[in-house]
Structure 1
Amino acid sequence: MSVQHVVFGFGAHSGIDDGPELLRMVQQADRDGLDHFSLSDHPYIGGRLDAYASIGFILGRTRHISGFANVTNLPTRPAPMLARAVTSLSALSGGRIVLGMGAGGLWDRIADMGVPRLSPADAVDAFEEAITLVKKLSGGGPPVTYQGRHYQVNQIEPAPVPAPAVWTGSVGRKSLAATGRVADGWIPGHAADWLSERYRTSRPIIDEAAAAIGRDPHEIRTVFNFPGRITDRPLPATRDHDGRWIGGSTDQWAEELTGAVLEHGASGFTLFSPDGGTQDDVSLGRWAKEIAPAVREAIAKKGADAEGDGA
């Protein structure tokens, strides 16, 4: 199995007063070599920092790390304007932006923002149209006219900047198929991992939809939102009775994630705390400086051994 470049990041949920601490954490993660940070996007919560304003501010204060909304609340951010936002962030940051995309989950709150409520099927149609339109409005070329059911633009000039990678939070069969057709990555919902029933039944839908239109399914990476404790000593069991990952020592994490990459095709991990929030400083440091390098080293060694065997 060929292995994609594996990315490591962390997720944060930040309130208005948490801005300085969030910036400090991302700057440290940038220095420590993490690939990305992510912020949730719930604009109907007044006490939360806006995801895209925060991402833009932080990218301006870092050098290497990428940012993304995990995932973008698409119904509140119309696709043509979202295209302008992400291509501008890409241009300003040297390409350090990922477009996380969701069809919309908390529709009661979304509707409270004055957004027309969509049925689940229509929300997925709008989601696929939005990804298609963002890509059309990126990368230069002639003016774009697009007449979809949910989005219409007329003779709009694309930005001369390539579209960022699009990672989706697809859950249902229809949105998973859309991911296979138009997206570049998938973030399994409900923090499901590679041993879960959700992953085993969902990923084939993406792969089949990709293959049906001539795409290589392996080009669509799987990036897991992955909560857990990073402990000083090994745990007797790293998973609970339901099979969900609990955590463990840095060596236990490294062994688990290396297996996820080599045996299950994982190509990225976004670390959260066990309760789904932001990890503490000590754990984040171990993630960046111990676990991620150990996994990268193990993957590189496996690749070198494979090349040697084939020589």
Structure 2
Amino acid sequence: MTGHDIVFGFGAHSGIDEAPELLRMAQQADRDGLDLFSLSDHPYIGGRLDAYAAIGFILGRTQHIAGLANVTNLPTRPAPMLARTVTSLSALSGGRVVLGMGAGGLWDRIADMGVPRLSQGDAVDAFEEAIVLVKKLSGGGPPVTFQGRHYQVHQIDPAPVAAPPVWTGSNGPRSLAATGRVADGWIPGHAADWLSERYRTSRPIIDEAAAAVGRDPREIRTIYNFPGRITDRPLPATRDHEGRWIGGSAGQWVEELTGAVLEHDASGFILFSGSQGTADLMTLGRWAGEIVPAVREAIAKENG
């Protein structure tokens, strides 16, 4: 995936027993013109598909849609090998992959996998090093030697494939600042949207860190995990008493998302169900068939 077009995707099932449905949904979304499917990455849960095995399989059975681990469980996937994984997927799929990155959240479970536990500060440092290293090990060029605190490689040839866009799931100030310095996009945590306090207090940290290293903050996209119901009739209120989006009719969705792009610089939306689970096939069909084309048309008309 390249460029700064607004992207529309969906959060997909990742249970092993749901694999046939996962493939059906991804293939339908691919036919319907969605840009992205995303899978969670929790390798300590035995009933879940491995995110990258599943992404590779789905990319091999689709034509246009890109895959995203939302977000990669970095502590269990060492950065040099992660670089090989994502550049290989990119080469095999014609660039249809986005690298979602997280510093690691559920450390008790991560440690249960035999991974050395890191402090929060060290985990964020390792996360920033990992993004830098993945990019260094992509795009060709001379052998790479990298001596970080957490990662070291010596004279390793980079893949002759561009690094995919890197979107982070950063939450804390240090992680947000790292996103501003080295990443390409940000997925706000806890399904926070552009009207949330989390967004209002977090996005300036990204922007300031980007500017401090000479980057244009607008290079770092904001893509939202966005749960909600699609209803047959308009709802009297599309947000709850805390201001969180709950959904509405297709027309209400179109109005909300168009405003998010034009007024709040939103760069993309990944649909989840109202309970933050996976949308069903019918909801996914309405998202791709009714809402997404109308938002794209409204944005194109406005940018005219």
What's the TM-score bracket when you normalise by the shorter of the two chains?
over 0.9
User: Are the aligned partners of 2:13 and 2:22 in contact in 1 as well (CA < 8 Å)?
Assistant: no
Give 2:185's aligned residue: 185
| Superposed CA offset, 1:164-184 (max 9, x none) | 000000000000000000000
Give 1:309's aligned residue: none
Aligned to 1:98, the other structure's residue is in SS state: strand
Aligned to 2:21, the other structure's residue is in SS state: helix
**Using the alignment, how far apart are the partners of 1:260 and 1:233 within structure 2?**
22
Which residues of 2 match residues 61-140 of structure 1 at below 5 A?
61-140=61-140
| Superposed CA offset, 1:116-155 (max 9, x none) | 0000000000000000000000000000000000000000
Change (3 A) 1:21 1:282: same
Offset at residue 5 of structure 1 (A)? 1.0
**Using the alignment, how far apart are the partners of 1:206 and 1:273 within structure 2?**
28
Give 2:48's aligned residue: 48
Offset at residue 13 of structure 1 (A)? 3.2
Aligned to 1:226, the other structure's residue is in SS state: strand
Offset at residue 17 of structure 1 (A)? 1.1
**Using the alignment, how far apart are the partners of 2:171 and 2:224 within structure 1?**
13
Give 1:160's aligned residue: 160
**Using the alignment, how far apart are the partners of 1:9 and 1:145 within structure 2?**
36
User: Are the aligned partners of 2:14 and 2:51 in contact in 1 as well (CA < 8 Å)?
Assistant: no
Aligned to 2:154, the other structure's residue is in SS state: strand
Give 2:7's aligned residue: 7
1:19 and 2:19 aligned: yes
Give 1:244's aligned residue: 244
Give 1:208's aligned residue: 208
**Using the alignment, how far apart are the partners of 2:152 and 2:56 within structure 1?**
27
Which residues of 2 match residues 194-233 of structure 1 at below 5 A?
194-233=194-233
Offset at residue 295 of structure 1 (A)? 0.6
1:254 and 2:233 aligned: no
Mean Cα displacement is larger for which, 266-275 or 4-13? 4-13
Structure 2 residue identity aligned to 1:116: P
**Using the alignment, how far apart are the partners of 1:178 and 1:298 within structure 2?**
34
Offset at residue 4 of structure 1 (A)? 3.8
Give 1:146's aligned residue: 146
Which residues of 2 match residues 281-296 of structure 1 at below 5 A?
281-296=281-296
Give 1:60's aligned residue: 60
Runs of 4+ in structure 1 deviating by more than 2 angstroms, as ranges, are none
User: Are the aligned partners of 2:146 and 2:154 in contact in 1 as well (CA < 8 Å)?
Assistant: yes
Give 1:35's aligned residue: 35
TM-score by length of 2: 0.99
Calculate the aligned-residue CA RMSD, in Å. 0.8
Structure 1 residue identity aligned to 2:105: G
**Using the alignment, how far apart are the partners of 1:43 and 1:5 within structure 2?**
32
Structure 1 unmatched runs, 5+: 305-311
